[in-house]
Amino acid sequence: MIYETKTALILRKDLAAWQMANVSAFLAGGLAGTHAHLMGEPYRDAAGRIYTALIREPMFVYGATLEELQRTHQRALSRELVPAIYIEPMFGTTNDADNRAVVAVAPADAMNFVGIGVHAPRKTIDKVVNGLKFLS
C-alpha cells in the first residue's frame, strides 16, 4: 500500500547506536502524538491477547550531518511543517520539562540538532529530505 503521507526521521550520522534508538523513539512518539492518523489498530494474537497499536506506515530514516539537519529544519519550516526535534543538550536532561528548557534557550537559527522528524504529504517530505541518504 502506498500512503498519501510520508514520515521521515533524520538522524545525525555520528551518534552512538543507543542515541540513535533513543532519538528515534522520541521523534516517532512526538509525531504520533501530533498526527493521530499515524496510529494503526491494536494487534491480537492467536490466543486473543491484545497488544498496543503501532504506527501504521513506514518511517524512512535518513542520516545527516549537523549542517544537513539544519538545512532540513529550514526546509520543513519554509513549508509550514511542525517538526519533532531533538537537540544535543537534551542528552544531558532526565525529564520533559528540562528538555523544553534547553530547547527554549537554544539559538533558533543554529540549533545543535541530533534528530528531526517530519510528517506531511509525500511530495512535501521528498522536498524536505532531498539530497539525504538512508541511514546505513
Instruction: Give the tens place of pLDDT for each residue, 110-131.
Output: 999 999 999 999 999 999 999 9
Name which CATH class applies to 5-134: alpha beta
In this prediction, residue 29 has a pLDDT band, given cuts at 50, 70 and 90, of: very high
Q: Break the chain into its structural domains and give their ranges.
A: 5-134
Q: In this predicted structure, what is the pLDDT of residue 130?
A: 98
- CA separation for the pair 104, 102 (Å, rounded): 5
From residue 27, how far is each of 46, 77, 114 by CA, in Å?
Answer: 32, 16, 11
Confidence class of residue 136 from pLDDT cuts 50, 70 and 90?
confident
- Of all residues in the chain, what percent carry a pLDDT higher than 90? 98
